[in-house]
Every structure is written in structure tokens, then in C-alpha cells.
Chain A
Amino acid sequence: MKGHNDAEHLFRLVAVFAAGIVIFLALRGSLVPRSFGQYGPYRGDALGEIASRPISYAGYQVCETCHSDVSELKHTGKHAHVNCEACHGPLAKHADDPASVVPVKPDPAKLCVRCHEANQAKPRSFPQIVAAEHAGDVNCRQCHRPHHPDFGSGAGK
């Protein structure tokens, strides 16, 4: 009787395992993004993709490069720490192309009361008015300049 050839079925087993490992590595290589695990258990390229999204608000530093007259006036008044786009809205497009994208001036009747209309939940130290009692229908700008809002500063910037 011929003896068992033990080695042969072991070789087959190894071949099957090797083929399995090769297929696994090939699939893994093609399915897992290359940057996965670059910084941690996530796709490293995602950071760059998220960081490269376009901005809507240019930031006050950009505004002040052109509108230094307004920022100088603003920095002497109570609105010194209110950044430009807090009232004027997102203007990154205007900063990119000042000629063709012209911002709309905010309406003081809506804008000022957004912050200054009295509310019991606002901090006591914050200047508040009841708009209807304070000036009725008179436009805020009749008495206050938005960039330097002390009383009696009159209509102006």
C-alpha cells in the first residue's frame, strides 16, 4: 500500500490561503481610499476637502483694507467691536469683485432693533429701547450714525 503523501494537501491548503490573502489585499487596495489612516481611522483627504470649501463672510480684516475711513470712525464709537458683516451680511463676493457685486445698505428700522429692542432675557448692561416708545416711526439714523451711534451724531456714516 502506498503511504499517504501528507505534504501535498498541505501545499493545496497553503495555496488556497495564499489566493485568499491575495484577493483580500487586492480588494482592500482598490476599495479603501489611499488616504484612509493617514492621520487616524478616517480618510485623510477629507480634511483638505472640508478646508477648501468657499467662504461667504470675508472677515473684517478684508473690509478694512478698502473701507479704512469707516473702520476708523467705528473704532472711536460704541460699535467698535461689531464686525462689518454682522450688519452688512456676507460679502466675500463683494470683496472678490467690488465693482460688480454691490452690497445693499441695511434697513435701520429692522437692523437696529434686532439687537437693541428691549427683552427681559438680555443682559441689564446692554443698551435697550422699546422702539415704539423710543422714537415711534422716526428712522434711527435721524439721530444716530450707525458706525458711531452716540445720540445726536446725526445722519451720516
Chain B
Amino acid sequence: MSLTRRKFIFLLPAAAVAWKYVLAGTPESAPNYQTTKHWWGMLMDLTRCIGCGNCVRACQAENGVPDGYFRTWVERYHVADWHMENPRVDSPDGGKSGFPGALGAGGKNFFVPKMCNHCVDSPCTQVCPVGATFESQDGVVLVDPKYCLGCRYCVQACPYGCRYLHPEREVADKCSLCYHRITKGLLTACTENCPTGARQLADLKNPADPIHEYLKTHGVQVLKPHLATGSKVFYNGLDGSVR
């Protein structure tokens, strides 16, 4: 086949489209990582959480989260007998230094670690006026700090309270599911440091990931399911009193 000038010019747009696909799916810093091959989520097994605060400390050390702000935190619940609607909840310093004492005598007591739910239909992404927050192709809700204006729309929109305005950089900040770690094949800092396996990173696109068997065989719930945000943080043993 002879390639005339005319044919070549006709091929240029197709080549441009093809090149775009070559570029897509490969963030520069992690050359072997393909964004289209993963779909990240997290499993929280509340029957294992001991409220040690390791995840909170690890997250702050890994991500440079300022004191008093949290990308992940642990709450302690106390439900007195039948008072499902009115649980007592505390989270001293995000649970970073553990939970001394008791919230009340008797009743039901348990810990609930919380973090960004990396929603499929995330309210925070929908309200961003400049495209600074987005859901990546591998299912992680991220903030582009260079593009964020600091308008706080997303902080208000998140129904789980998972976002804050970084006090120094004055841009929205949140859990990135340790994107700089998972793209290198590492676990998130919180998962790596959870001593009981209460947190488990899950790749929902990987058929060999134990998450699939787990979801099939356990009574799993997401937080605030009535909001239909498409949360990908799954809780095992979630009590109805958890808000």
C-alpha cells in the first residue's frame, strides 16, 4: 500500500486519538501501573477493630496531615441497651492516642474507623466548580492541589465529613487512599499498620482479591446507604446506631 500525502493527512486525526490512548492509563511516576486495571475500595471489619489508633498515626505520618485534622479517624460508640437512636460517640484527637476510660456503664461498645468512602457517585466531586477534585479511572477520589481554589464546597458536600481545608496550603485535603503507595504495589499506610486486620485494602477489579469471597459470605454494609453515593468502604459488623 502506497501512502500518499492525502492518505497521510487523513490518518493524522486517527493517530492523535490513538496517541491519547497510549498516554491514558499510565501515570508518569509508576510506569508499571495501569489505572484501568484497578478499582480500589476498603474493607473495615469492625469485629476486629481495637481502637489502638495505629491507622490515624500512620496516616498522619505518611501524608503529613496537620495536628487536629484527620484523613482517617476512629470513633467509639456506646449504645445503652435499646437506645439505638441515641448512641454516645467520642473520638478524642481522632483516636490517635487510644480511648481511655469508658463512655458509660454496660451497654454495647465498639469502635468504628472512618475515612473517605471513595464514592462512585461522590457528592464532593459533583460540586467542585473547577475540576480540582475528581474520581480517577481506578476509583480513587483525589484532589489536585494545584487546581483547587479552596472554596470549601466539597467540604460541605461530603456527607461523611471526610474533607478539610488544609490550614497552611489552603486547599481541600482528604484521604487519597495513599495513591502514592497503591500505585507502587504497597498497601495504604492505615492498612499496613493495622495490627488486627480490621482494615483491608481491596482491589475490586482483581478477581484474585479475597474481597470478593468476603463480600459474598458476610453481612456487609456501607455508611449512610440511603444517600446512594456508591461508597466503596465496606463495613462488616456495622451496627445500626452508627451515623
Q: Which residues of A contact B (CB under 8 A)?
A: 33, 36, 38-57, 59-60, 79, 81-83, 85-87, 89-90, 114-115, 117, 119-123, 126
Within the complex, the shortest CB–CB distance from B173 to chain A, in Å, comes to 12
Q: B-side binding surface: helix, strand, loop or mixed?
A: loop
Interface residues on B, range: 35 or more
Within the complex, the shortest CB–CB distance from B51 to chain A, in Å, comes to 6
B84 at the interface (CB under 8 A from A): no
B20 at the interface (CB under 8 A from A): yes
Q: Mark B22-34, 1 if CB is under 8 A from A, else 0.
A: 0110011110010
Q: Of the candidates B61, B109, B183, which one forms a contact with A89 in the assembled complex, judged by CB atoms under 8 Å apart?
A: B61
B187 at the interface (CB under 8 A from A): yes
Q: Of the candidates A46, A79, A90, A115, which one forms a contact with B142 in the assembled complex, judged by CB atoms under 8 Å apart?
A: A46
Q: Are A36 and B192 in contact (CB under 8 A)?
A: no
Q: Of the candidates B23, B27, B49, B192, which one forms a contact with A51 in the assembled complex, judged by CB atoms under 8 Å apart?
A: B27
Q: Which of B10-18, B115-123, B132-140, B159-167 contacts A (4 or more CB under 8 A)?
A: B132-140
For this complex, 5 residue pairs linking A to B, each with C-beta atoms less than 8 Å apart, are A42-B133, A51-B27, A81-B196, A122-B51, A126-B50
A47 to B146, CA, bound (A): 12
A122 / chain B contacts, CB cutoff of 8 Å: 50-51, 111
Q: Are B62 and A90 in contact (CB under 8 A)?
A: yes
Q: Which residues of B contact A (CB under 8 A)?
A: 20, 23-24, 27-30, 33, 35, 47-54, 58, 61-62, 76-78, 98-99, 102-103, 109-111, 131-137, 142, 144, 146-147, 176, 179-181, 183-184, 186-187, 189, 192-197
A36 / chain B contacts, CB cutoff of 8 Å: 131
Within the complex, the shortest CB–CB distance from A33 to chain B, in Å, comes to 8
A31 to B236, CA, bound (A): 47
Q: Are B184 and A55 in contact (CB under 8 A)?
A: yes
Most chain B Cβ neighbours within 10 Å, of A44, A52, A120: A120
Q: Are A42 and B180 in contact (CB under 8 A)?
A: no
With both beta carbons as reference points, the residue of chain B lying nearest to A45 in the complex is identified as B28
